[in-house]
Structure 1
Amino acid sequence: MVSDDGTAKGGAGRDAKAERERRLAEALRENLLKRKAQARGRRAGEADQRAGLAAAKPGVGETPGGSDG
């Protein structure tokens, strides 16, 4: 039988929901820690240490002001 929220009644539905809640809580904690570290770095004037794309830098022939002409 299926409950109103679309999950199966019984242990399987509760286990899946509990696992999802646990994963979401863990992701939320990780995100909070990243944001706190980012805020501390900004207060200290340090560069952002996150993995990913580097901040845009002027390339060859470009000026920091943005106009090449």
Structure 2
Amino acid sequence: MRDPDQKRAPASPRKPAAGMTREERLKAALKANMARRKAQAKARAGSGADNNKNE
């Protein structure tokens, strides 16, 4: 069993810094999303070029 005095871990492992405003969090999330999309597009472009070589 669990010790009742033991504190539970927070539900979300990502805890924003206390000083970050909503706008700053959104800006950081957008930047990460754009970087991820850019990497996905680059991977798709690279894999598409490989498929054309075999034909």
Q: Point out where structure 2 has 5 or more consecutive residues left out of the alignment.
A: 1-11
Structure with greater helix share of residues: 2
TM-score relative to the length of structure 1 = 0.51
Q: Return the structure number with greater relative CO, CA threshold 8 A, min gap 6.
A: 2
TM-score, normalised on structure 2?
0.62
Is residue 26 of structure 2 the alignment partner of residue 17 of structure 1?
no
Whichever residue aligns with residue 40 of structure 2, its letter is L
Please identify the structure whose Cα radius of gyration is greater: 1
> Alignment length, in residue pairs?
40
Following the alignment from structure 1 to structure 2, what is the Cα–Cα distance between the partners of residues 9 and 39? Answer: 45
Percent of aligned pairs sharing the same letter:
8
CA RMSD of aligned residues (A): 1.5
Equivalences for 1:1-69 in 2 at 5 Å?
4=12, 5-7=14-16, 8-43=20-55
- Counterpart amino acid of residue 17 in structure 1: A
Report runs of 4+ in structure 1 exceeding 3 Å deviation. Answer: none
